[in-house]
Amino acid sequence: MSTASAVRREGLRSFEKSATTGVRPGTRILIVDDESDLLDMLTAYFLSSKYEVDTATNGVEALAAVSRQRPDVVLLDIHMPEMNGLEALKAIMKIDQSIAVIMVTGNTQLSITVDAIRNGAFGYIPKPFDFRYLDHLIAAGLSRFRPRR
């Protein structure tokens, strides 16, 4: 193997690690969606990948879950009743800006995307999912550096 290719492999290690060798034990993901079928499917998917999974069906429940036990990553649907994803994102950022919040949505307006970015979303993934892309985005979220001071 050439040196350049070894360096490239090393450089991308943090993204590939979670997707290929399993996640660090205790890694917690919170899935927030009001569609029960999707919630069940994503829960099964992430449990099979050895994540610890919490679920919520709206923003209010999501905030309660975040306050109860800090997740490493939140998958947050935008269009939900009671408290929508954007409002929940803003509230989560007030609790802990180091949580990687990935917005999930079907069709949406550009202004909503802009607002999510402006308010600290780590990532944004449209439905239907490309699961390989989702895995890598979550791996990036998990490898995000959080200085201890």
Partner 1 sequence: MDVRTLAALLNLLSAARACTRAQAGTVYLQEADGLTFLVTQNDELARFIGPAGSADLLAQTPLPWTERSIAGYVAVTRTPLNIADAYTIPADHPYSFNPRIDRATGFRTASMLVVPLHHPIDGVLQLINAMNEAGDIVPFSRDVEIAVLELLSTTSESSAKG
Q: How far apart are CA 28 and CA 53, in angstroms?
A: 6
Task: Select 28 or 120, whichever has its Cβ closest to partner 1.
Answer: 120
Task: Find out whether 22 and 48 touch, Cβ atoms under 8 Å.
Answer: no
By CB under 8 A, how many residues form the interface with partner 1? 39
Shortest Cβ distance from residue 140 to partner 1 (Å)? 4
Among 33, 71, 121, 135, binds partner 1 (CB under 8 A): 121
Q: How far apart are CA 125 and CA 64, in angstroms?
A: 24
Helical (H) or strand (E) element with 74: strand 73-77
Among 25, 26, 48, 148, binds partner 1 (CB under 8 A): 148
Task: Find out whether 141 and 102 touch, Cβ atoms under 8 Å.
Answer: yes
> Segment 18-77, which members bind partner 1 (CB under 8 A)?
none
Pairing state between β 73-77 and 52-56: unpaired
Of 11-19, 23-31, 46-54, 61-69, the window that binds partner 1 (rule: CB under 8 A) is 11-19
Q: Count of CB atoms within 10 A of residue 1's CB? A: 6
Based on the shown chain and the rule CB under 8 A, indicate whether residue 94 belongs to the binding site for partner 1.
yes
Task: Select 80 or 116, whichever has its Cβ closest to partner 1.
Answer: 116
The residue ranges that bind partner 1 (CB under 8 A) are 4, 7-8, 10-12, 14-15, 90, 93-94, 97, 100, 108-110, 113-114, 117-126, 133, 136-137, 140-141, 143-145, 147-149
